[in-house]
Amino acid sequence: MLSRALTKGLFSLALAFVLAGLGCPDARADVGIVLNESLGTSMDRISGTGHSAVYFSRICPESPVKLRLCRPEENGSVMSNYINIGEPQDFEWNIVPLNIYLYGVENPRFRVLFGTYQIKDLLEERYRAKYLAGYCDGPPCSTSSKAEWREMVGATLIRGMYIFVIDTTVEQDEALIAQFNDSRNKNHFNGVTRNCADFTKRVINAYFPHAVSTDYLNGLGMTTPKAIARSLVHFADRNPELSLRVLHFAQVPGTIKRSSDVRAVTEQLYRSKKLLIPMLIFADYGVPVVAASYLLTGRFNPEGEFEKHPGQAERSGYAIRPMQQEEQSQIVGTSAEWKRYRQELNSLLHERGQAEPGGDAADLHRFFKHVSKVGKPRLDANGEVWMDIADKDHSFQVGLSANNILGRNSDRQSAYELLLWRTQGVLKSPKHRRETMPEFEDNWDLLQQARLRNAEVVAKDHDSDKLAKGGVPSTGGTDD
């Protein structure tokens, strides 16, 4: 644990240097390919190709359709194009602040810990009112669920993602700003020749000509998000001075359908039974070709690249340079560490089961579903999420954001049970679906604090029962 504390201290120190150097002309900055998992909707349900976007650490939005260099207190952005952004003017791309893209709020301390469609809707409407005035003021942009600007707000609520990051210079960033601000932002989206991956390829190649290319064989003629991410990794391997690092953001636990692994076209045909069986029936001669193409030239594992080149996404949003081998496990976590946390969680669940009859895992899941069903989420002025619950004989509220779930006005027992449910889901997930170790440890600390606060409530309830029965109360904690 001393080693981990030291490493986290080094992270903070490195982050301070990054932020301090941001105002200098030669400050290091990054560009990266955002590889979004598949939502399984529309054509993506068949292709499984997911979505691609571009991450910048030194370029920020002057408006949703105009670029500028970031100010010292800002932390980058994500630019993306879609078939239907939904705004009245048919823009090819929009750009949003990085934390809005990841969490739906400007300050990651206010990030929501649980994902539901109701919460996502609230974050989207807040963003629209605050940032899209003049671009999305009325229907259908403001009301249509098919307007794809919505996917750029709190994206981690609906999907997991990897970001493949390399270094840039200020001259490169300024040249890109000038190029995009001077060119016409007009949508010509085409699923085959001008899709989201083609757009990302165009941006990356503006920095590094011919750095990424289309894999026509495994994309069956199309540019796919996974292929250009693989292409960038190969380019970075040939140019180690670019300091490749990979960031991983897991989908936020909640009731929203889980996103699925992103695939190239031949990989989808090879792995998907619903597509492979029709091929065997109607085009069996093509199966060996598809399999050989994928197995020989198309394999690419984003999780494997993350484990080889992990970058730490500090709460500021900046990626730290690649770490020494002994530090990498601090980001990914070792099998022994994840096993230890599962054992500790089992102890907490056993403790809860003894204190509350029926307090098992299934009961936790029922509790979360009940809260999601009867509760009404709302946002405060900072974008923090609260859930108001009117349940039988009493009403209460519980915070659902990282900084308010343990707040004075957040119901203690509900906060603890929600964090137990969340932690259990993370620890049961396969490694490519769970949080990074530093993020998990932050949330584990919240769980431990919630446990202590809940113990005070349980002790008070126990004392009240004893007083009602004429007993002597024990000495317990008090409200803060």
Q: Which of 133-142, 152-161, 452-461 has the lowest mean pLDDT?
A: 452-461
Confidence category of residue 383, pLDDT binned at 50, 70, 90: confident
- Give the model's pLDDT for residue 248: 95
Give yes or no for a contact between 82 and 53, defined as CB atoms under 8 angstroms apart: no
Please say whether the dihedral angle defined by the alpha carbons of residues 243, 163, 103 and 414, taken in this order, is positive or negative: negative
Mean pLDDT, the chain, rounded, equals: 83
Give the whole-angstrom CA distance, residue 432 versus residue 429: 8
Determine the Cα–Cα distance for residues 57 and 44; give it in Å rounded to an integer: 29
Give yes or no for a contact between 5 and 201, defined as CB atoms under 8 angstroms apart.
no
More confident residue, 313 or 173: 173
Checking if the pLDDT of 77 tops 70, the result is yes
pLDDT band at 137 (very low <50, low <70, confident <90, very high): very high
Of 34, 8, 13, 15, which is closest to residue 247 (Cα–Cα)?
A: 34
Range from 209-223, 245-259, 263-277, 427-441 carrying the lowest mean pLDDT: 263-277
Least confident of 209-218, 225-234, 253-262, 295-304: 295-304
> Domain boundaries in the chain?
2-264+300-325, 335-468
405 near 110, Cβ under 8 Å? no
pLDDT for residue 46: 60
Closest to 200 in 3D by CA, of 178, 176, 218, 216: 176
Euclidean distance between CA atoms 387 and 385, whole angstroms: 7
DSSP 282-301: H-TTHHHHHHHHIIIII---
> Is it the case that residue 222 has pLDDT exceeding 90?
no
The DSSP secondary structure of 299-368, one letter per residue, reads ---HHHHHHHSB--B-TTSPBPPPPPHHHHHHHH--HHHHHHHHHHHHHHHHHHHHHSTT-SHHHHHHHH
